[in-house]
């Protein structure tokens, strides 16, 4: 017998960017289940369904206590019939048949293994699966052509599928900082992505690089990459040039979440902790380094606040910020700029706080953007 008065009722605003979502998740079982269904949808090219499950999971992540009864969810946003059914199954039976059978399905397992290769997306994985390739062994036997990224991904598969620790991220931060100030004194390096949100592990390490004097950052990335390469820190890198032009890419085409900064997707060769700073005399009995995915992005200082906001995540938080901007404020937000469609002008900002203010949102610090 449930005493109505004792049931905790929750209330959360509907956009994730209006909520404070810390890493302190009281509903891990439920959010893991919904995230798995989201992942399965994304891997199956059903992005709409994927976002719906991500939004539902994000609402549960924002709750101050565990959900114990369906009645507590009344009035909460973003919980569609499908997500509610999954939640109900788990509350009543401790598991959802749909989640369990998805997890066990050969197709999902194959998609996970194959997209676990750096450089392999859901489309490539799907094509391989249709050709009867379900695991790494079959891939290697198949003679399928791999591009340079995928070759590196396969070569470092185990390392890259092992979470990066905060300590490793800190060690890489030191290396990147040394590289950047060596080639451009005064340039600044900021850790972004999940580590900036306070996560203790991540799938990669993300950095944003800028210089306080506009224009000084031009040409910086190739120099940084050359420095890192010559010091033997890179196992793989692919640099993409900056292609952002306000006039060309401005308000007319804001919808893509791909930004146009000069960026470098790389794989670092990181010495194991006990080996750092030690010069080797004899060949080691075991491998003394491991591969770590690192993303480097260079932004001019005039776009820095937007780049920082855009690269701090979480991915859902970013998506919700753009949706809020477009639907509620008639503005277009990207990692480069904020455009006000009613005033037909760009809104400048020197800090993340100013961007939230332009958007009419309460400021949410990085540690509370874990939607």
Active site residues: 204, 206, 295
Binding residue for ligand ATP, selected from 258, 282, 285, 344, defined by CB under 6 A: 258
Q: Which region among 171-179, 210-218, 306-314, 322-330 touches ligand ATP (by CB under 6 A)?
A: 306-314
Q: Does 168 bind Mn ion (CB under 5 A)?
A: no
Q: Which region among 59-67, 203-211, 298-306, 341-349 touches ligand ATP (by CB under 6 A)?
A: 203-211
Ranges within 203-232 binding Mn ion (CB under 5 A): 204, 206
Q: Find tokens 């060769």 and name the residue.
A: 269
Q: Does 206 bind ligand ATP (CB under 6 A)?
A: yes
Q: Find tokens 């146009």 and name the residue.
A: 260
Residues 6+ apart with CB under 8 A from 107: 129
Q: Does 54 bind ligand ATP (CB under 6 A)?
A: no
- Asked if residue 298 lies in contact with residue 210, where contact means CB atoms within 8 angstroms, the answer is yes
Size of the site for Mn ion (CB under 5 A): 6
Q: Which residue lies nearer to Mn ion by CB, 110 or 204? A: 204
Size of the site for ligand ATP (CB under 6 A): 17
Closest CA to 137 of 161, 157, 165: 157
> In this structure, what DSSP letter does residue 23 have?
S
Residues 6+ apart with CB under 8 A from 273: 167, 171
94: left (phi over 0), alpha (psi -120 to 50) or beta: left
3-state secondary structure of 4: helix
How crowded is residue 188: how many other Cβ atoms within 10 Å of its Cβ?
Answer: 16
Q: Does 50 bind ligand ATP (CB under 6 A)?
A: no
Ranges within 267-326 binding Mn ion (CB under 5 A): 295
Q: Does 262 bind ligand ATP (CB under 6 A)?
A: no
d(CA 321, CA 328): 10
Q: Least CB distance from residue 225 to ligand ATP, whole Å?
A: 18
262 binds, among ligand ATP, Mn ion, none (CB under 5 to 8 A by kind): none
- Asked if residue 57 lies in contact with residue 80, where contact means CB atoms within 8 angstroms, the answer is no
Binding residue for Mn ion, selected from 50, 119, 153, 193, defined by CB under 5 A: 193
Q: Does 119 bind ligand ATP (CB under 6 A)?
A: no
Q: Least CB distance from residue 370 to ligand ATP, whole Å?
A: 9
Residues 6+ apart with CB under 8 A from 137: none
Q: Least CB distance from residue 280 to Mn ion, whole Å?
A: 31
d(CA 244, CA 250): 9
d(CA 3, CA 9): 13
168 binds, among ligand ATP, Mn ion, none (CB under 5 to 8 A by kind): none
68 binds, among Mn ion, ligand ATP, none (CB under 5 to 8 A by kind): none
Residues that bind ligand ATP (CB under 6 A): 193-194, 199, 202-204, 206, 257-259, 310-311, 313-315, 318, 335
């Amino acid at each position: 017998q449930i005493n109505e008065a004792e049931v905790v009722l929750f209330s959360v605003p509907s956009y994730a960017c209006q909520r404070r979502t810390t890493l302190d998740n009281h509903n891990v079982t439920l959010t893991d289940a919904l995230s798995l269904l989201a992942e399965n949808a994304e891997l199956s090219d059903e992005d709409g369904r994927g976002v719906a499950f991500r939004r539902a999971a994000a609402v549960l992540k924002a709750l101050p206590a565990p959900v114990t009864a369906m009645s507590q969810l009344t009035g909460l946003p973003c919980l569609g019939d499908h997500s509610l059914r999954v939640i109900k199954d788990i509350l009543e039976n401790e598991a959802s048949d749909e989640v369990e059978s998805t997890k066990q399905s050969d197709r999902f397992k194959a998609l996970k293994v194959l997209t676990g290769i750096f450089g392999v997306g859901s489309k490539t994985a799907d094509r391989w699966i249709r050709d009867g390739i379900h695991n790494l062994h079959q891939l290697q036997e198949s003679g399928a052509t791999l591009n340079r990224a995928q070759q590196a991904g396969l070569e470092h598969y185990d390392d890259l599928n092992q979470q990066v620790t905060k300590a490793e991220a800190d060690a890489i931060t030191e290396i990147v900082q040394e590289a950047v100030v060596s080639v451009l004194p005064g340039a600044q390096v900021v850790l972004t992505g999940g580590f900036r949100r306070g996560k203790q592990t991540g799938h990669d390490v993300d950095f944003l690089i800028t210089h306080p004097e506009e224009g000084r950052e031009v040409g910086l990335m190739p120099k940084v990459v050359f420095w890192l390469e010559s010091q033997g820190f890179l196992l793989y890198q692919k640099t993409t040039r900056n292609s952002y032009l306000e006039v060309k890419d401005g308000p007319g085409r804001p919808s893509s979440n791909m930004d146009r900064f000069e960026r470098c997707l790389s794989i670092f060769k990181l010495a194991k902790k006990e080996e750092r700073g030690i010069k080797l005399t004899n060949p080691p009995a075991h491998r003394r380094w491991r591969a770590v995915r690192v993303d480097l992005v260079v932004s001019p200082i005039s776009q820095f606040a937007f780049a920082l906001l855009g690269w701090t995540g979480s991915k859902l938080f970013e998506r919700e910020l753009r949706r809020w901007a477009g639907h509620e404020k008639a503005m277009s937000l990207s990692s480069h700029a904020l455009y006000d469609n009613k005033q037909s002008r760009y809104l400048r900002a020197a800090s993340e706080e100013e961007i939230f203010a332009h958007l009419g949102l309460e400021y949410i610090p990085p540690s509370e953007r874990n939607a």
